[in-house]
């Protein structure tokens, strides 16, 4: 699962990406189009439950869940027609599972805004429009081919034609595809097109250093826009987060305290991105390691086991499951078992967020 960071040039994408991944790889310079090659990075998803588990089970290692991020360079008006480095960036967005859009809410006369003024709602509309235009383009190109196959009697192609037409109608009404409800077969029929406005989106409001909670009018406007679309907004000061990310643990706590934050805002970003992607974590806990694993919400026990190793999915026998509450109540896995609280779950079990699992499998 990976999320792509997008936005207009100079809104703080590279700064945020660097802070998130603590990688020095992505360039951050005060001019548009500086980030030409898309950069990838890994972020861990902070989860307090890992810490709670290790109060009872003392492992050698604790391994959090991770997310892959791609820093996709700036999109400008006209990107769908090849403006800026438009097409190249858009093709990168087609490949990610979710979009994280950074919107500039900070004022800084030293940092040029491509449209001349800070107006986050206009920026969000610009990008939404470019992505919609690009999706229309993709669908217009795909339609004749699907129609030819449909005329040749291909049943799947018939479905594809009808879904393409539904999507085009929706886009013509100026609505992104993520607001169009499709069944599973319909979704599958068009999945290979990488339609961008069908991808879940998360907005990061890049705020001023003196407005960390995002109280200014710009952020309020972003919230209204996002609320209407049922998407999340996380206020972050990318510049401050970049500085915090470079500190060692002790200085970091001091710095956070001095600006009144309980944790880096980046933790919130990672969790919100996870949520936007429709992901959840289950845990495995033993003396070697306590570890969070990522599954889509709704994954079955064999699917969840398959995240660890495909052999475990193929040879799945059963899952032995308990929760953090069980651990709090009984203190160890053995005591949970002795109390008859260890659940035995089969192939059809839907793994729940926070389950602590042991998988039994044959090879
Ligand atoms: P990108 O083009 O969207 O990747 O933007 P960059 O991350 O390269 O940032 C562009 C400029 O804005 C750089 O000079 C950053 O230092 C500056 N910048 C980024 N975030 C902030 C912020 O939160 N506040 C202020 N004042 N400047 C920022």
Residue 311 belongs to a domain: yes
Return the structure tokens found at 218. 């710009």
Return the structure tokens found at 22. 């603590």
Give dist(CA 92, CA 71) in Å, integer. 10
26 burial level (CB within 10 Å; 0-12, 13-18, 19+): buried
> Residue of the nearest CA to atom 28 in ligand 1?
239
What does residue 114 show for φ and ψ, rounded to 5 degrees?
Answer: -60, -30
Pairing state between β 279-285 and 65-71: unpaired
| C-alpha angle 289-291-293 in degrees, rounded to nearest 5 | 150
Q: Which of 9, 18, 23, 28 to mutate to test the pocket of ligand 1 (most atoms within 8 A of CB)?
A: 28
Same domain, yes or no: 357 and 243: no
What does residue 319 show for φ and ψ, rounded to 5 degrees?
Answer: -115, 140
What's 327's domain CATH number? 3.10.20.30
| Region of 260 on the Ramachandran plot (φ > 0 left; ψ -120 to 50 alpha; else beta) | left
Q: 199 by DSSP, 3-state: which?
A: coil
Same domain, yes or no: 222 and 323: no
The H or E element containing residue 39 is strand 39-45
Predicted pLDDT of residue 103:
94
Same domain, yes or no: 71 and 212: yes
What's 27's domain CATH number? 3.40.50.300
Same domain, yes or no: 267 and 319: no
Positive or negative: CA dihedral 331, 333, 337, 341? positive
Contact 66, 296 (CB under 8 A): no
Q: How far is the CA of 81 from the centre of ligand 1 (A)?
A: 26
Structural domain boundaries, residue 346: 298-361
Contact 28 CB / ligand 1 (< 6 Å): yes
Same domain, yes or no: 271 and 351: no
Please report, in angstroms and rounded to a whole number, the separation of the first and last CA atoms in the chain. 27
Residues of the chain falling short of pLDDT 70: 23-38, 73-88
Same domain, yes or no: 204 and 331: no
Of 275, 309, 330, which residue sits at a domain end? 275
Predicted pLDDT of residue 75:
67
Q: How far is the CA of 344 from the centre of ligand 1 (A)?
A: 51
Give dist(CA 5, CA 227) in Å, integer. 20
Q: How far is the CA of 208 from the centre of ligand 1 (A)?
A: 11
Same domain, yes or no: 103 and 238: yes
Predicted pLDDT of residue 201:
94
Predicted pLDDT of residue 76:
66
Residue 12 belongs to a domain: yes
Residue 210 belongs to a domain: yes
Predicted pLDDT of residue 187:
92
Q: How far is the CA of 85 from the centre of ligand 1 (A)?
A: 19
* Total number of domains constituting the chain: 2
- The closest-lying atom of ligand 1 relative to the alpha carbon of residue 30 is 14
Same domain, yes or no: 260 and 133: yes
Give dist(CA 329, CA 284) in Å, integer. 18
Is-above-0.90 flag for pTM? no
Same domain, yes or no: 228 and 330: no
Positive or negative: CA dihedral 105, 107, 112, 113? positive
Pairing state between β 61-63 and 289-296: parallel
Q: Is the ipTM of this complex over 0.85?
A: yes
Give dist(CA 227, CA 134) in Å, integer. 24
Q: 329 by DSSP, 3-state: which?
A: helix
Residue 271 belongs to a domain: yes
Give dist(CA 158, CA 189) in Å, integer. 10
Q: 343 by DSSP, 3-state: which?
A: strand
How many residues are recorded in the chain? 363
């Amino acid at each position: 699962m990976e999320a792509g960071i997008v936005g207009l040039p100079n809104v703080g994408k590279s700064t945020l990406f660097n802070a998130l991944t603590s990688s020095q790889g992505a360039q951050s310079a005060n001019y548009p189009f500086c980030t030409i090659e898309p950069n990838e990075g890994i972020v861990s998803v902070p989860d307090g439950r890992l810490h709670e588990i290790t109060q009872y089970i003392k492992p050698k290692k604790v391994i959090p869940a991770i997310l892959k991020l791609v820093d996709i360079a700036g999109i400008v008006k006209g990107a769908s027609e090849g403006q800026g480095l438009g097409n190249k960036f858009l093709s990168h967005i087609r490949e990610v599972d979710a979009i994280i859009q950074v919107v500039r809410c900070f004022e800084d006369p030293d940092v040029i805004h491509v449209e001349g003024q800070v107006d986050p709602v206009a920026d969000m509309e610009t990008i939404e429009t470019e992505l919609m235009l690009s999706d229309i383009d993709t669908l217009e190109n795909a339609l004749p081919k699907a129609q030819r196959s449909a005329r040749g009697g291909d049943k799947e192609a018939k479905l594809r034609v009808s879904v393409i037409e539904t999507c085009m109608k929706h886009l013509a009404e100026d609505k992104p595809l993520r607001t169009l409800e499709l069944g599973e077969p319909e979704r599958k029929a068009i999945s290979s097109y990488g339609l961008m406005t069908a991808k879940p989106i998360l907005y990061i409001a890049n705020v001023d250093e003196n407005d960390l909670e995002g109280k200014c009018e710009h952020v309020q406007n972003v919230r209204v826009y996002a609320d209407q679309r049922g998407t999340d907004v996380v206020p972050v000061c990318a510049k401050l987060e970049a500085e915090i990310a470079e500190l060692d643990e002790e200085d970091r706590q001091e710095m956070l305290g001095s600006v009144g934050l309980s944790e880096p805002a980046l933790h919130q970003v990672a969790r919100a991105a996870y949520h936007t992607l429709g992901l959840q974590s289950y845990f495995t806990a033993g003396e070697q390691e306590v570890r969070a694993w990522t599954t889509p919400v709704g994954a079955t026990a064999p699917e969840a086991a398959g995240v660890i190793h495909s052999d475990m999915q193929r040879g799945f026998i059963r899952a032995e499951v308990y929760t953090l509450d069980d651990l709090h109540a009984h203190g160890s896995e053995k005591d949970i078992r002795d109390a008859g609280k260890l659940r035995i779950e089969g192939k059809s079990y839907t793994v729940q967020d926070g389950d602590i699992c042991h998988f039994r499998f044959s090879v």
